[in-house]
Amino acid sequence: MPKRRRTGHEPPAADIDTDAVGDMTDILDRLTASLRSPDDFRRVCTTIGGLSEGWPPGYIECTRASIGRQLTEEFPDITVGRVLERTLELYDQGYFRGLLARLIELGMDIRLCFNNVWCYDVAGKTTVIRQWTFKIEISLKVVREVERRGQGVCGEVPCSTGIGAMQLLFEHELVHGLIQTCCPRLATSSDPPQLQQQTPFSLAAWSGQYQEPSGHSRWFMAMQFNLFGQSGYCHDCRHGPDR
């Protein structure tokens, strides 16, 4: 897949490929309806990561901008209130069509929090606590740094606000959590043998950067790109490219 150019501006509605939006909507609706038990969770990653195309760029940008405006309005101070929980709800509505709510209903536990630790190479962290349970941590210092500077880049997508940085980091870590919980072999292996006959995914579908040892496999990158348009796995929120 080629990298998508990100302008940082919300495109006009005419720039959104409505046919592609309809296709992705149908795929997610069918996937959600097919989930019956936690054993079905791995199908989430193999389906979304296996698509040759996901949400179109215009839809991704408009949805992210809309969520950002709503979060800014509801949480003038992101340290007060359940901003990450609300972010999960809005992303489920905008990008997953209720799929995450269905996973939670079936037993998945997604825990969310900020940490106040600055680490040069870590802006977010995802930890699998036990089966079907993972925790996402977002560095509040990274968010504040972007807010102070008025610029940052996460996954090769630019951001200019603290909320915007939080959203991009949240997107990245959410994909980590889903893959590590639902189908962990996909995190570090681009083509596990047991999946070769179960999905039409081809390694040729993702031609961008990836790094399997750190959990950013081609599967991870394809899933992140199909959902959120992020084509990298690094951030530049302080001095230079880091994780």
Helix H segments across the chain? Answer: 18-34, 42-49, 57-74, 83-91, 99-105, 140-149, 162-182, 185-188, 218-228
Residue 196 included in any domain: yes
Residue 8 included in any domain: no
Coil, strand or helix at 87: helix
Residue 243 included in any domain: no
Each residue's pLDDT tens digit in the chain (243 positions)?
223 333 333 444 558 899 999 999 999 999 999 999 888 888 888 889 888 889 999 999 999 999 999 999 999 999 888 999 999 999 999 999 999 999 999 999 999 999 887 655 678 899 999 989 999 999 998 898 888 888 888 888 999 999 999 999 999 999 999 999 988 888 877 665 444 444 444 444 677 888 888 888 888 999 999 999 999 888 776 543 444
Domain that holds residue 109: 13-236
How many domains is the chain partitioned into structurally? Answer: 1
Residue 6 included in any domain: no
Q: What is the DSSP letter of 204?
A: G
Placement of tokens 């980091």 in the chain: 169
Cβ neighbours of residue 196 closer than 8 Å, sequence gap 6 or more: none
Give the whole-angstrom CA distance, residue 196 versus residue 207: 18
Residue 213 included in any domain: yes
Residue 158 included in any domain: yes
Q: Listing from the earlier edge strand, what are the strands of the sheet with 109-115?
A: 109-115, 133-139, 124-130
Q: What is the pLDDT of residue 118?
A: 60
Residue 91 included in any domain: yes
Cβ neighbours of residue 238 closer than 8 Å, sequence gap 6 or more: 120, 142, 145
Residue 241 included in any domain: no
Assess contact for 23 and 30: CB atoms under 8 A.
no
